[in-house]
C-alpha cells in the first residue's frame, strides 16, 4: 500500500555491481607525516614554549607556505597543512641552533631532525604535491623560530633590566 516496486533500471545499474569500498584504506606516505609531526614534535615543543607561541608560529608558517605556493611558477591548487607542519620542523631547527648549549646529545638531535626534514621535503617530489608550499613553510618557520623560540639562558639579561653593580 503506497510502496512502488523497485525500478528495473536501478537493478541493472553499475552502482549495484561494484563491491563496497574497504572499511579502511591506508593513507599515502605524505599524509603519514601530516599525522606524525604534530603528535610527536608539536607536543614536545609545546611543552617547552607556550601554546600561543606555537599557534602563532603554526599559522604564520602556513601563511608563508601558501604565499610561496601562490608565487610559484607552476599553476596548481594546493590544500593541506604541510606548509605549516614543515614550519614547525623549521622552527625546531632554529630552536636547536639558538639553544645549542642546552642540548646534551647534539649530534643525535641534529641528525634526527635533518632526516625528518629531508624525508618531508622528498615527499614534495611526488607528482601533484606542492613542494613550494613545503619550502615556504619550512623557511618561514625557520625564520620565525629565531624570533619566537628564544629561551633565556644562564647569563642572559633582558633588555631594559638594570643591574645594580
Catalytic residue ranges: 82, 134
Q: Which residue has the cell 602563532?
A: 56
Rounded to 10 degrees, the C-alpha dihedral 24/27/28/32 comes to -150
- Residue 68 near residue 134, CB atoms below 8 Å: no
- Residue 144 near residue 93, CB atoms below 8 Å: no
CA distance 57 to 61: 6
Angle at 66 between CA 94 and CA 125, to 5 degrees: 80
Whose CA is closest to 84, among 62, 69, 117?
62
Cell for 40?
A: 610527536
Rounded to 10 degrees, the C-alpha dihedral 87/92/148/164 comes to -170
Amino acid at each position: 500500500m503506497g510502496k512502488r516496486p523497485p525500478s528495473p533500471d536501478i537493478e541493472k545499474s553499475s552502482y549495484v555491481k561494484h563491491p563496497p569500498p574497504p572499511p579502511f584504506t591506508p593513507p599515502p606516505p605524505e599524509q603519514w607525516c601530516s599525522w606524525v609531526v604534530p603528535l610527536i614534535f608539536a607536543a614536545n615543543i609545546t611543552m617547552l614554549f607556550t601554546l600561543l607561541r606555537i599557534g602563532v608560529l603554526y599559522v604564520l608558517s602556513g601563511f608563508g607556505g601558501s604565499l610561496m605556493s601562490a608565487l610559484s611558477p607552476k599553476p596548481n591548487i594546493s590544500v593541506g597543512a604541510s606548509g605549516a607542519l614543515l614550519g614547525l620542523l623549521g622552527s625546531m631547527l632554529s630552536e636547536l641552533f639558538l639553544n645549542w648549549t642546552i642540548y646534551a646529545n647534539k649530534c643525535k638531535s641534529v641528525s634526527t631532525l635533518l632526516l625528518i626534514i629531508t624525508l618531508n621535503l622528498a615527499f614534495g617530489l611526488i607528482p601533484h604535491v606542492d613542494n613550494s608550499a613545503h619550502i615556504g613553510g619550512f623557511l618561514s618557520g625557520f625564520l620565525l623560530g629565531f624570533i619566537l623560540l628564544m629561551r633565556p639562558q644562564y647569563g642572559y639579561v633582558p633588555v631594559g633590566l638594570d643591574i645594580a653593580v
